[in-house]
Amino acid sequence: MLRALICDDEALVRAELAFVLRDVVPECDIVEVETAAAALSALRERPFDVLFLDIHMPGLSGIEALRRLESIADAPPVIIVSAHEDYALAAFEHAAVDYLLKPVNGARLAKTLERIKRTGSPQAPSPPSRIAVELGASTKMVSIDDVRFVEASGHRIEIHLYDEIARYRGSLASCERLLEAHGFMRVHRAYLVNVRHIVEICPSFAGTSSVRVDDRARSTVPVSRNHARKLRSSLGA
């Protein structure tokens, strides 16, 4: 029996999502609320296996609710359900397990629920496999495995892919929290690197060094003296 909490201020949207959910998981116990405050209250009263959360609602927004969920013990995985793509980055920064666009597709929902089920515990969902970045005028979801390194350039956070550079709208610290479960390491105060894409360690001077990654340009990433030993240890070098 799947215990689901649906939070959306539109009754019709809640009904449509409940219909799709019951089609995917016939055995489910669904509770509907129309505000994020009511959802937080419901989560404190009883356990749920998943929370479906809208972004735009009267009073507390979905993103604000995600922040507050961090203080609730045994909070369930959260799936954002929105009519807008613009808040995907903020949602994943606050540990949403997926971001579904309205109207929800049943096959897409089934995959998400199966991924949550495979974790074995609703309190320990698998980390998101994609990251929201800005490429040109668009916000796109790219595979985290495709990211070579991340660079803080002034107030701009750049995501370096194989042959493109995208922009991340959060801080380097929030990006690090999102990526560390995928094998990224802090190697410099301004750089994170995907260890799986390192192809060469390049010695330098005074204890510093750099690494080369397997992007098109074979870019080098500086490694500070404070991080060099940990990096070499992780690489077995």
| pLDDT tens digits, 113-136 | 998 887 644 444 455 688 889 988
How far apart (Å, rounded) are the C-alpha atoms in residues 51 and 200? 44
Structure tokens at 173: 């610290």
**Local confidence band at 212 (pLDDT 50, 70, 90 cut-offs):** very high
pTM over 0.75, yes/no: no
Q: What is the pLDDT of residue 21?
A: 96
Write the pLDDT tens digit of every residue in 45-97: 889 999 999 999 999 999 999 988 877 768 899 999 999 888 887 888 777 89
**Two tokens, residue 99:** 């971001």
- Over 90: is that where the pLDDT of 220 sits? yes
**Torsion region of 129: left, alpha or beta (phi above 0 gives left; psi -120 to 50 gives alpha):** alpha
pLDDT at 9: 96
Place of tokens 């019951």: 22
- d(Cα 135, Cα 144) in Å, to the nearest integer? 15
pLDDT at 205: 67
What is the tens place of the pLDDT at every residue in 172-188? Answer: 988 998 898 888 999 99
Q: What is the pLDDT of residue 121?
A: 42
Instruction: Work out the average pLDDT over 187-212.
Output: 87
Percent of the chain at pLDDT exceeding 90:
59
Longest dimension (CA), the chain: 65
Whether the per-residue pLDDT at 24 is higher than 70: the answer is yes
- pLDDT greater than 70 at residue 237: no
Q: Look at residue 177 and give its three-state secondary structure.
A: helix
> Taking the CB of residue 172, how many other CB atoms lie within 10 A of it?
17
Summary mean pLDDT of the chain: 88
